[in-house]
Structure 1
Amino acid sequence: MSDETLLEFPCQFAIKAMGKNNLEFDLLVIEIVRRHAPDLFEQAVSARPSKDGNYLAVTVTIQASSKQQLDAIYRDLSGHPQVLMAL
């Protein structure tokens, strides 16, 4: 895997995760991201339900410090059974 990236660190980076719309999904996403970005603020999180309300898209904006940090976040999100997709 290449460590090349077009991003310059540190930078603001939005991470989006989608899953079933339940009471805990947004908290789950926040907890996973916070493992790698402990300085995450509540204001950096937004959530939007799908048109029918069955799914929830959670966007978390972090101050990313490295490509390795982002890779670890995506690996943890993608590996969780409740996360259907991470962008």
Structure 2
Amino acid sequence: MSEETLLEFPCQFPIKAMGKTNIELDLLVVEIVRRHVVDINEGAVSTRPSKDGNYMAVTVIVEATSKQQLDAIYQDLTDHPHVLMAL
């Protein structure tokens, strides 16, 4: 196991991104994640609106293969202007 991460790969890993509700954020997040993950299972994507409905959280559960893969996904998500935050 690497000292950089406590995760053991491959593993199921939830990636969460948040942004404004007025765009198709779920499609955008899935498109970005697909650049790095070939298979996204049906049912692996869930969305949740904020209490006031102005923001949306999108969670995509992926089969992560490395810390580098996760870093690249987060970098692409945070680089996109419609993604306000990625966790």
The TM-score with structure 1 as length reference comes to: 0.93
Pairing of 1:1-87 with structure 2 (within 5 A):
4-87=4-87
**Sequence identity (%):** 75
Unaligned ranges ≥5, structure 1:
none
Residue by residue over 1:22-78, the C-alpha shift from the partner in whole angstroms, topping out at 9 and shown as x without a partner, is 241110000000110011123100000001110000000000000000000000000
Amino acid at match of 1:72: A
Amino acid at match of 1:50: S
Unaligned ranges ≥5, structure 2:
none
Amino acid at match of 1:7: L
Q: Which structure shows the higher helix fraction?
A: 1
Give the whole-Å Cα distance in 2 for the aligned partners of 1:12 and 1:41.
Answer: 11
Give the whole-Å Cα distance in 2 for the aligned partners of 1:23 and 1:4.
Answer: 35
Structure 1 residue runs of 4 or more that deviate by more than 2 Å after TM superposition = none
Give the whole-Å Cα distance in 1 for the aligned partners of 2:15 and 2:42.
Answer: 14
The TM-score with structure 2 as length reference comes to: 0.93
